[in-house]
Amino acid sequence: MNELLIKLEHALSPYAKQFAPEGSEIKAVVHQWGHAIAYDNDIFASSKGADANEILSRLKKAKCYNSAKQFKKELRDCINLNAADNPEFTFIDLFAGIGGMRQGFESAGGSCVFSSEFDKHAQDSYFENYGEYPFGDITKIANEERNHANWIDAIPKHDILVGGFPCQAFSIAGYRHGFNDKKGRGNLFFRMAEIIDLCRPRAFLLENVKNLVGHDKGNTIRVIKETITQDLGYSFIPFVLNATDHGNIPQNRERIYIVGFKGESNWSAEDKVRLDDILTHQFQIPEPIELKKTIFNILHQSQQDKRYYYPDTHQYFNELNSTIVSKKSVYQWRRVYVRENKSNVCPTLTANMGTGGHNVPLIRDDFGIRKLTPEECLGFQGFTETFKFPAKMAMSHRYKQAGNSVAVPVVSRIALEMARLLKITRD
């Protein structure tokens, strides 16, 4: 861990302890405070009594802070991925994973003021790259009862809420229980709605699997729309984009995105209002762009570690060797057979790639038949080489995190359009 972040934790943890919600680490509060001080954003739990002057006093006593300029520079120097020096808007990153949505919105000029991710291993990767340990269980921060333990009002003020809420409950590959998912995953949408309701951001972007549209004969998306428009008063703009068509990324990855703007739930092109003032009317869904990248822009050409290759003693080697013949395609292992992706793009990455599940992407290179590396999977999601996994992280977690992420360039295009519109009107 970087020396500055160690000093921050030592200086602020005793004070931050009382402000850490159940299910979140104390260091999540500490890191949020550090970023907030550096970027002049609201601090977490200011509504609960957390005091910026007390935080600054402790930082100065620990010799972590001499000036705002110095503190910001030192913090930026110890982080792989940084927001712009002078952010144009703020956002929060819910169900953050490894920060694919964050990267998209930071590239559009935003500053993340709060993040939340339940998976401990994803939290470690998030911290490794953004110098910020995410808050944990969102159900401990947002809940229907809104009792004295509720921490929604402690979340810093933000312009945009970003959330790729878990897709298992709506996926064809999942149990298809939707809002009635017995594990509660479908209900996480409503926890996000709670946060929107209380924090009232100017806009939001939600992301999920394409199958959300048709789940339960359309009832699931209908309930989501009614919640957003009737209960929350936001507009509802759903659209499906594919990474190959809209992100210049050679991966077949279709996802549904939902954009909404505050106070525009009842807008209509026929209303006698100035349409120039209606952001929903002006929002432009990204148009398709030419796919210029190929799989060879992402695949490593050198020999990889032997653990990625199938030895000739493997039980399926003969079948793989006889069917994976081209070096110009990415193949899929479909439990009992191999399928070639003849479109010359990578098939949709999944979270079970590294655990023996189906849809494992395979290639033939000059050295044999192998799986894609986790780093190549990140490349097929649009991450740059700047992103790093923690050194001791297991391969299964690396694959899961890459497969669960978003296509960053697609999110970047949506974020740029939202940022453009937020410049038009101000709260």
| Residues catalogued as catalytic | 167
Residue 229: which residues within 8 A CB-CB, separation 6 or more?
235, 236, 265, 266
Q: Hey, what are 398's tokens?
A: 């690396």
Q: Angle at the Cα of 71 (from 65 to 73), degrees rounded to 5?
A: 155
Q: Hey, what are 152's tokens?
A: 């929604």
N-terminal to C-terminal alpha carbon distance within the chain: 39
- According to DSSP, the β-strands at 203-209 and 160-163 are parallel
8-to-133, 287, 300, 389, 399 alpha-carbon distances in Å: 13, 44, 38, 23, 31
Overall residue count recorded for the chain in this entry: 427
Residue 77: which residues within 8 A CB-CB, separation 6 or more?
none
DSSP character for 373?
A: P
Q: Give the position of tokens 């199938």.
A: 310
Contact call for residues 267 and 236 (beta carbons, < 8 A): no
Q: How far apart are CA 14 and CA 12, in angstroms?
A: 6
Q: Angle at the Cα of 154 (from 223 to 55), degrees rounded to 5?
A: 155
- Residue 329 φ/ψ, nearest 5 degrees: -130, 160
